[in-house]
Amino acid sequence: MFNKIKIAFAIIVFTISACSNPQLSSESNKVENILKNDSVQQSKDTLKNTVVNAEINTPKEVSGNVTFKNQYCGGAWPSDEILESYETQYPLTSSTILLKNNKQKDKVIEINTDKEGHFNSPLEPGTYDYYMTKSYNKDMNCAFKADCKKWLNKCFGQITIKEGKYDGYKIVFAFECNPCEPNNRP
């Protein structure tokens, strides 16, 4: 603000001087041009800083994989092969999950997975809780059932997005026994 006042004062002084002395007129024009160019450069610098700040605050495209695994939930004791399958992680394909930012609880982001369980989504650095939705691939052999509201409200884990790291993230859903079926226990 002070610089603008100095510039305006200089223009007024040189304009008055130029009117009273024709020899100073050309010098006054030179000073005015210098001052105008300085103002233009300051405006360019301000615009450049605004663009840089906007780029810093824009969420970057983050990518990774979403997988799931099931848990043994009762019945006859399974074979070693079946028990091993409970430890295997499978891609959570063609599904939508929710991420909730820990610092901004009202900020909910939907992430869509492709047919191989990969995702790409603009995300800001931070820690997010992740949840299932009713929009999931029902053809997968996962224990999750969307008609169980307890499961829809359950946080299945957290993921932390780090500044400068944009790929290689992994989200794992470990589907325990269905909490809406009380007899379904290991």
pLDDT of 145-176, one tens digit each? 999 999 999 999 999 999 999 999 999 999 98
Is there a single domain that holds both residue 84 and residue 156? yes
Q: What is the pLDDT of residue 77?
A: 84
Q: Is residue 181 part of a domain?
A: no
Is there a single domain that holds both residue 91 and residue 37? no
pLDDT interval class at 103 (50, 70, 90): confident
Q: Is residue 183 part of a domain?
A: no
Q: Amino acid identity, residue 69?
A: K
* Higher pLDDT pick, 84 / 16: 84
Is there a single domain that holds both residue 150 and residue 69? yes
Q: Tell me the C-alpha distance between 186 and 183, whole Å.
A: 9
Q: What is the pLDDT of residue 45?
A: 62
Is there a single domain that holds both residue 52 and residue 65? no
| Digit-coded pLDDT (tens) for 63-86 | 999 999 998 887 788 888 888 888
Tokens describing residue 155: 């946080």
Domain extent, residue 31, equals: 2-57
Is there a single domain that holds both residue 170 and residue 102? yes
Is there a single domain that holds both residue 148 and residue 97? yes
Q: With a cut of 70, say whether residue 28 has pLDDT above it.
A: no
Is there a single domain that holds both residue 19 and residue 52? yes
Q: What is the pLDDT of residue 85?
A: 80
- Count of the separate structural domains present in the chain: 2
Is there a single domain that holds both residue 115 and residue 136? yes
pLDDT interval class at 26 (50, 70, 90): low
Is there a single domain that holds both residue 82 and residue 129? yes
pLDDT interval class at 43 (50, 70, 90): low
What does the mean pLDDT of the chain come to?
Answer: 79
Q: With a cut of 70, say whether residue 38 has pLDDT above it.
A: no
Is there a single domain that holds both residue 95 and residue 159? yes
Is there a single domain that holds both residue 53 and residue 85? no
Q: Is residue 34 part of a domain?
A: yes
Is there a single domain that holds both residue 18 and residue 52? yes
| Digit-coded pLDDT (tens) for 116-148 | 999 999 999 999 999 999 999 999 988 899 999
Q: What is the pLDDT of residue 152?
A: 93
Q: Over pLDDT 70: what percentage of the chain?
A: 67
Q: What is the pLDDT of residue 46?
A: 58
